[in-house]
Structure 1
Amino acid sequence: MEITDNTFARQFETIVEEGLVSVEYSFQEKKIFLTKINTPDQFDNEEFVSQLLSEIMAIAIERKLKVVPILPKIVVFFKKNPAYKELLPPGIRL
């Protein structure tokens, strides 16, 4: 899956047959807040969202960002993927 960072719209994007999938974000210092996931209905499933978030976590690692999970889906992702817990800022508990 190829993820593009659309800095103007403040969202990570990927194109699927059914349209655009995006994860909206905001920044504060060296933290990224993932605020909204927009997917066509048929892609609103745990497997696809997990793959999408794994790609975004790789970007966060590359950019040395901490990830603040705002959405329940992202909290679930962190709980199921403990390898990414190092990306959580100090003081954030799931």
Structure 2
Amino acid sequence: MDAAVIIEIKDNTFARQFETMTEKGLVTVEYSFQEKKIFLTKLNVPDLFDDEEFISNLLKEIMAIAIERKLKVVPILPKIVVFFKKNPVYKELLPPGIRL
């Protein structure tokens, strides 16, 4: 079993994105807020970046931030919808009425 990877995330509130640096460059997840919901709107990765496990771990860290801040998460991107389907433990973060 691999130990959980700790990813350093910066919440860049000015740019409205979570940021983390990888060996290949900056990875960001853009967001917007509406009431007590965070909409995850865009995932930006460097060219040739294809580490799905890293992206999954990054999204888990973002879910932890949402839990800490008592936010509901609205996945806009198909990749984030797939993350929720693969990780049903986070489904309680979805707002009422959101079906995946």
Query: Per residue, is there more helix in 1 or in 2?
Result: 1
Unaligned runs of 5+ in 2: 1-6
* TM-score, normalised relative to structure 1: 0.95
The AA in structure 1 aligned to 2:62 is I
The AA in structure 1 aligned to 2:57 is Q
The residue aligned with 1:56 is 62
CA contact (8 A) 2:29 2:41 kept: yes
CA contact (8 A) 2:24 2:49 kept: no
* TM-score, normalised relative to structure 2: 0.89
| Corresponding position: 1:33 with 2:43 | no
Unaligned runs of 5+ in 1: none
Select 1:70's aligned residue among 59, 76, 80: 76
**Distance in 2 of aligned mates of 1:44 and 1:90:** 32
**Distance in 2 of aligned mates of 1:46 and 1:18:** 14
* Sequence identity (%): 85
**Distance in 1 of aligned mates of 2:50 and 2:69:** 27
**Secondary structure of 2:62's aligned partner:** helix
**Pairwise CA RMSD:** 1.0
CA contact (8 A) 1:24 1:37 kept: yes
**Distance in 2 of aligned mates of 1:73 and 1:45:** 13
The residue aligned with 2:97 is 91
| Corresponding position: 1:80 with 2:86 | yes
